[in-house]
Structure 1
Amino acid sequence: MTVDDRFRIRDSGTAGPVPPGYTVTSTSHGVLVEAPDGGRLLYARSGPGPAPEAPPAEAPSDASSTYSSAPEQQVDMVIVDAVQRPEVIGELRRSGVIGVTTAVVAVGGDHRVRSPEEFARRARLWGALAPGDGTVMTCPPSVWPEPRPRGPHRTLVTGGARSGKSTEAELRLLAEPTVVYAATGPAADPEVDPEWAARVARHIERRPWWWRTERTTDLAGLLRRERGAVLVDCLGTWLTWVMGECGLWEEEPPRDAEERVEAAVHELLEAWRATSAYVVAVTNEVGSGVVPATRAGRLFQDHLGLLNQWAGAESEDVVLTVAGRVVELR
């Protein structure tokens, strides 16, 4: 990166002498350049992120206060390698370096992202600009990024097994300063089911260090109380639990089992409609397979298909993932 056609900056520091009037400082977040006119530009580091902060003994439910970090001085522009570590944007928003008047510039697009259009799509989700090679930019810029989605906002990500839906849901929230990950699946016990435990461990390892995982089936309560960003993974496992609690998996279900399932679904939909959070929920696409051979399978297909329809009708965005590609359902 060249600054004012006078000197170059690399993520390891400067390359060449710094002209009079400029200050270049290596910080924990990257290389900070302060210009003679007072402008502040940060070339964010792309190396490993900081160690996770230890949660307090009595962790509050509000995601923004679960892990605290002292706010730092805001800059005018941040340049981030958004292919190497896009979650840096969320880290810097969390620390206070990126504020509402900071322009975020995403660079680093290469063969690791399939096309310039896909790189620009991701940048829009993160509230960042994605300039082309050789672009000359002012600090602050003359063109600002489009506003990223903010709560209240609902996105439903559907797709088949191994279609990339969880990866897409996580990608959408990488630039958020606080994220609650609502895990609705069964607890991972390596002694009982080592394969499931390994799957859960891989999911945990790829999440940013500051995301808070909450294992819960009370999705309605969580959506009513959270104000930041929430990732729900997934509605299918939540519905599986609800149907079990109501007795629909039994050979002779209670007479009111279906009514209780419908009541739980409608409670969730009311919370989904009224939430103040930015919610991204993963669900399973049930309409692409054969009709299940069992009564329980057909009941699950019917209930989840209806839940997906109703949640989609109450969502600002619905996307379908197929073979790792994302199709926006207008």
Structure 2
Amino acid sequence: MRIRFLGTAGHSGWPAPQCTCSSCNKAHAERRLPLRVTVDDRFRIREAGVLGPVPPEYTVTPTPDGIRVEGADGGRLLYARSTQGPLPGGPPADARPAGSSVYSSAPEQQVDMVIVDAVRRPEVIGELRRSGVIGVTTAVVAVGGDHRVRSPQEFARRARLWGALVPGDGTVIPCPPAVWPESRPRGPHRTLVTGGARSGKSREAELRLLAEPKVVYAATGPVPDAEADPEWAERVSRHVRRRPWWWRTEQTTDLAVLLRRTRGAVLVDCLGTWLTWVMGECGLWEEDPPRDAEERVEAAVHDLLEAWRSTQAYVVAVTNEAGSGVVPPTRSGRLFRDHLGLLNQWVGAESEDVLLAAAGRVVELP
């Protein structure tokens, strides 16, 4: 089969008509029409089904994952479902946050190509990898870009992280494909995301792992207590609700053990909170700390670094950039700033990628 992308953007195109937002201004150089996909130039396929009569040599099947097309040449295409809602065969409702996807967890047959609206619900890629629909030889095609993303370049960057192709209008891709996108990062691979408060660092870390079939979310903060601290409990709840339903959360401060035993992908949020706990356990917050407090902190940091170096997982860790302001007025503030700054340097030195988040944007640090 030959899949032709006559348009590749969201329903309004990119730039959208009469829109003067910064994203649309940046998209003028490479205009994209609203999404329109045809199979062998004989019929059109979309998320809701097909338009036009389907020749007898093709099989079109609605599935819980989307619309599946099989051609006479054996090519297998899936136009992935991007809407949410109950579907037969999904995981039990109490096993996932409210409003999450319910794609079937039963084994599915791998296809040759998957078309995904990567703006509406990019986590569909991870869901389909988890269920086996997307395998190592499946070409993932990311479409639907529009001004919900700040630029075409940003859309392409995200697609590369997810192991997806971004076709231009008029592109024809054979199914089975002749080429695949560059491989996405896989373990062992380490990424450190740093930035100030509300800089977008946690969202960037989560975005990088949306297409992974298995993710452990290592939460290093205190277990939320709605009665003692309702604001913290609500903050944690918001974080949980925006994660894909199949991510597994581990509330832990023993990061070294987790990094040594875990395979797949790990998101650590965050190193600053972990260091706060370590310094407290070692007595550094006390007015008269134990004589061996610094040595114990150093030992814990060394153990974490050894685990970070030897991990076999794809790890994305979030940390705080605490040294950009004035010198803290308290002893504890100065201690934390100094220890965290050194920890960030050491972890960054052992990482393939280090990113700085600021004002919701990300800069890769060479």
- Superposition TM-score tier, normalisation by shorter sequence: over 0.9
Residues 1:194 and 2:230 aligned together: yes
Shift of 1:139: 1.1
Q: How does 1:211-222 map to 2 (within 5 A)?
A: 211-222=247-258
CA distance in structure 2 between the partners assigned to 1:124 and 1:44 by the alignment? 18
Shift of 1:69: 3.5
Q: How does 1:25-64 map to 2 (within 5 A)?
A: 25-48=61-84, 53=91
CA distance in structure 2 between the partners assigned to 1:305 and 1:157 by the alignment? 13
Which amino acid letter does the alignment assign opposite residue 314 of structure 2?
Y
Q: Is this contact kept in 1: 2:112–2:177, CA < 8 A?
A: no
- Match for 1:259 among 287, 295, 306? 295
Q: Is this contact kept in 1: 2:209–2:215, CA < 8 A?
A: yes
Residues 1:149 and 2:163 aligned together: no
- Partner-residue secondary structure (3-state), 2:257: helix
Shift of 1:289: 1.2
CA distance in structure 2 between the partners assigned to 1:299 and 1:41 by the alignment? 57
Q: Give structure 2 stretches of 5+ with no counterpart.
A: 1-36, 96-103
Deviations 1:201-257 (A, max 9, x none): 100000000000000000000000001100000000000000000001111110100
Q: Is this contact kept in 2: 1:246–1:260, CA < 8 A?
A: yes
Normalised to the residue count of structure 1, the TM-score between the two structures is 0.94
Which amino acid letter does the alignment assign opposite residue 81 of structure 1?
D
Shift of 1:54: 5.1
- Partner-residue secondary structure (3-state), 2:133: coil
Give the equivalent residue in structure 1 for 2:8.
none
Q: Is this contact kept in 2: 1:53–1:210, CA < 8 A?
A: no
Q: Is this contact kept in 1: 2:214–2:265, CA < 8 A?
A: yes
Shift of 1:144: 1.3
- Match for 1:103 among 133, 139, 149? 139
Deviations 1:237-292 (A, max 9, x none): 00000000000111111010011001000000000000000000000012211111
Aligned residues: CA RMSD: 1.6
Q: Give structure 1 stretches of 5+ with no counterpart.
A: 58-67
Residues 1:277 and 2:318 aligned together: no
- Match for 1:159 among 171, 191, 195? 195
- Match for 2:329 among 293, 296, 299? 293
CA distance in structure 1 between the partners assigned to 2:91 and 2:302 by the alignment? 37
Residue 49 and residue 259 in structure 1: after superposition, are their counterparts in 2 closer, same or farther (change >3 A)?
A: farther
Q: Is this contact kept in 1: 2:126–2:210, CA < 8 A?
A: yes
Shift of 1:55: 11
- Partner-residue secondary structure (3-state), 2:45: strand
Residues 1:231 and 2:267 aligned together: yes
CA distance in structure 2 between the partners assigned to 1:140 and 1:129 by the alignment? 14
- Partner-residue secondary structure (3-state), 2:317: strand
Deviations 1:87-132 (A, max 9, x none): 0000000000000110000001100011111001000000000112
CA distance in structure 2 between the partners assigned to 1:233 and 1:50 by the alignment? 30
Shift of 1:133: 2.3
Runs of 4 or more consecutive aligned structure 1 residues displaced over 4 Å after TM superposition:
49-52, 54-57
Shift of 1:49: 6.3
Q: Is this contact kept in 2: 1:178–1:211, CA < 8 A?
A: yes
Residue 111 and residue 227 in structure 1: after superposition, are their counterparts in 2 closer, same or farther (change >3 A)?
A: same
